[in-house]
Structure 1
Amino acid sequence: MLTRLIPSTKEALPVVGLGTWQTFDAATPAEKEPLKQVLQTLHQSGGTLIDSSPMYGRSEAVVGELTDGSGLDNQFFYATKVWTRGREAGIQQMNESFKLMRRSKMDLMQIHNLVDWKTHLATLNDWKAAGKIRYIGITHYTDSMHDELEQILSKTPIDFVQFNYSIVSRNAEKRLLPAAADHGVATLINRPLGEGGLFAKVRGKSLPDWAKEYAVESWGQFFLKFLISHPAVTCVIPGTSKPNHMADNARAGIGPLPDVKTREKMAGVIAAL
């Protein structure tokens, strides 16, 4: 799998990771079994990043349970979030995330949807200095918040910014992605498949023949490779509970990437449907 460098450290990060919103909120052994296989497939495919949040129901606990003692627990890049108000509440929630995910050190702690971000940022800077977390991030999921994300990363030292971006939702290309590149901030892409809505647009449609030139074998890979080909994108994090979908998503991180002209051609194919 292709990798991109995290600008603040030059650490290489594989370009396809895993989101856990809705998909990892599992309760029974039967529900968890395919998720164990999803994590194994992520690892076997060369991916590392797992993104979660206290907002995602049981997801943090399920990630912790399924990776602990698997022999792979230290092979992943663990990312979660703080999603509350107030310093003490934030500390309590983050400590609970460490416990649920069974980590003594978190790779990335993000401030979810910018909730009380200035308060939490102070704590995160302290924790980073103490070695409790490796990276600090901020997140949101709507176009309307891109300007604020851009302003923060332009003025505040952070390592990661996470936001929505897809082949049919390209607002991030205007200012946010260029700003992240200019200021040396890694990017995580949420909603990369339009929450599944993109597949409805292409149902029953064949891939264009020229997609084979970029090792694209499915519409999912088509959508993800469009994003990965943007030079300011560090990692896409589509969520899934199906091992075969994880394998398909991961293959988007393999092979040649479209150039600028081809990216517009890809977007044109979807816009014309």
Structure 2
Amino acid sequence: MERRHLGRTGLRVSRLGLGTLTWGRDTGEHDAADMLKVYLDAGGNLVDTADVYSDGGAEYLLSRLLDGMVAREELVIATKAGSVPDPYRRFDASRGHLLSALDASLERLGTDYVDLWQVHAFDPSTPTEETLQALDIAVASGRVRYVGVSNFSGWQLAKAATWQLAGASRTTVASTQMEYSLLQRGIEREVLPAALDLGVGVLPSSPLGRGVLTAKYRYATPPDSRGASELLSAFVEPYLDEGSRRIVDAVATAADGLAVSALHVALAWVRDRPGVVAPIVGARNALQLEEALSVEALTLPEEIRSALDDVSAPLHRYPDQDWSTL
């Protein structure tokens, strides 16, 4: 699998990452082991997790599977901290919480460092400088190699990345993980331009539009899908509207013309967008993951990319519109 630099750093990651959101909850040890083996055999090296995935269960499961399967130095482990299961405060990016969360993640992962440590979300209750200082401490202590953020808006990302670039001893923000797909192009308004300008690599989450871009919801909701799940149906439902259906129809038409799956078309589109380093792909089992990984050989023809751009184009007005042409 082709590898790309993560932002303006020397870290090289495979251009598809493996997500572990459901590991330890919906995905058991057997299926997780099969997926990890398939991913590694395909040349993948980036595994993304978080301290709150399955209340730490995803990190713990990952640590159990790695033993004997791959050398630690051959894998890029990315995890996150900052989300809290508290009804009164969803995020805590204070220095104390982040550093304690990092120690707990390292213990569950069974390693003395993580390759990429990400702030899971912006915390308006904590000064940004304090949050960023925790990242510097983590790197200086050797517990973290590179740092990133997740779910930051454009101005939040620009503030964080610029602050880090302003100090010689500060750690560069390498990446930002954001939802990005043909059904969700909101980051193109401000986040993506900021990332491109500041040299921050983009790691798209939900690159298949929460599964909708596979076209499996085109005519009905499969009984074994997230859309039929009591826990996750609300996660899928926003992408089942009429506007989304038009985009999915266009993806399916392109797939038919190329003799590939809708999944391949949607994934290739986001993988090759400017600024994107590695979409994070989640799967229920090894067969699903194998299909996603087989997109490696596909490059979309320019006319198909352009058509998909047009049909999925978000409405951007002031101040994004070029008013000099009006």
TM-score, normalized by length of structure 2?
Answer: 0.72
Aligned residues: 261
| 2:297 equivalent in structure 1 | 254
Q: Spell out the pairing of 1:20-35 with structure 2 (5 A cutoff).
A: 20-21=20-21, 23-26=22-25, 31-35=28-32
Higher-Rg structure is: 2
| 1:93 equivalent in structure 2 | 101
Task: Say if 1:257 and 1:102 are closer, same or farther in 2 by CA, change over 3 A.
Answer: farther
**Matched residue SS, 1:193:** coil
CA contact (8 A) 1:202 1:219 kept: no
| 1:113 equivalent in structure 2 | 121
CA distances 1:123-143 after superposition (whole Å, capped 9, x unpaired): 2112213332111111018xx
Task: State how far apart, in whole Å, the 2-side matches of 1:242 and 1:155 are.
Answer: 41
CA contact (8 A) 1:139 1:162 kept: yes
Per the TM alignment, residue 37 of structure 1 is displaced from its structure 2 partner at its CA by 0.6
| 1:137 equivalent in structure 2 | 148
| 1:125 equivalent in structure 2 | 136
1:265 aligns to 2:262 (yes or no) = no
Task: State how far apart, in whole Å, the 1-side matches of 2:312 and 2:291 are.
Answer: 19
| 1:81 equivalent in structure 2 | 80
CA contact (8 A) 2:154 2:194 kept: no
Structure 2, gaps ≥5 residues long: 83-91, 165-171, 221-248, 314-326
The correspondence for 2:110, drawn from 90, 102, 109, is 102
| 2:17 equivalent in structure 1 | 17
Task: State how far apart, in whole Å, the 1-side matches of 2:209 and 2:255 are.
Answer: 24
Task: Say if 1:149 and 1:91 are closer, same or farther in 2 by CA, change over 3 A.
Answer: same
Larger relative contact order (Cα-Cα within 8 Å, sequence gap ≥ 6): 1
Q: Spell out the pairing of 1:53-92 with structure 2 (5 A cutoff).
A: 53-57=50-54, 58-83=57-82, 84-92=92-100
TM-score, normalized by length of structure 1?
Answer: 0.84
| 1:188 equivalent in structure 2 | 203
The correspondence for 1:37, drawn from 24, 34, 37, is 34
The correspondence for 1:243, drawn from 279, 286, 308, is 286
Task: State how far apart, in whole Å, the 2-side matches of 1:53 and 1:209 are.
Answer: 33
Aligned AA (1:68): D
CA contact (8 A) 1:82 1:110 kept: yes
The correspondence for 1:229, drawn from 272, 275, 294, is 272
CA distances 1:28-83 after superposition (whole Å, capped 9, x unpaired): xx921011010111111111111111121111111111112323544321000111
User: Percent identity, aligned pairs only?
Assistant: 25
Task: Say if 1:55 and 1:182 are closer, same or farther in 2 by CA, change over 3 A.
Answer: same
Name whichever of 167-176 and 198-207 sits farther off. Answer: 198-207
Task: State how far apart, in whole Å, the 2-side matches of 1:258 and 1:232 are.
Answer: 19
Task: Say if 1:203 and 1:67 are closer, same or farther in 2 by CA, change over 3 A.
Answer: farther
CA contact (8 A) 2:254 2:304 kept: no
Task: State how far apart, in whole Å, the 1-side matches of 2:292 and 2:173 are.
Answer: 28
Per the TM alignment, residue 239 of structure 1 is displaced from its structure 2 partner at its CA by 1.4
| 1:219 equivalent in structure 2 | 262
Task: State how far apart, in whole Å, the 2-side matches of 1:224 and 1:67 are.
Answer: 27
Structure 1, gaps ≥5 residues long: none
Task: State how far apart, in whole Å, the 2-side matches of 1:66 and 1:162 are.
Answer: 24
Task: Say if 1:120 and 1:267 are closer, same or farther in 2 by CA, change over 3 A.
Answer: same
CA contact (8 A) 2:173 2:200 kept: yes
Per the TM alignment, residue 207 of structure 1 is displaced from its structure 2 partner at its CA by 4.4
Name whichever of 233-242 and 177-186 sits farther off. Answer: 177-186
Report the aligned-residue RMSD. 2.6
Aligned AA (2:280): I
Name whichever of 94-103 and 167-176 sits farther off. Answer: 167-176
The correspondence for 2:254, drawn from 208, 211, 216, is 208
CA contact (8 A) 2:148 2:174 kept: yes
Task: State how far apart, in whole Å, the 1-side matches of 2:216 and 2:279 are.
Answer: 20
Aligned AA (2:31): P
CA contact (8 A) 1:165 1:172 kept: yes
Q: Where in structure 1 do 4 or more consecutive aligned residues deviate above 4 Å? A: 200-207, 267-271
CA distances 1:193-240 after superposition (whole Å, capped 9, x unpaired): 12123334545975436753xxx7211111111101112100100212
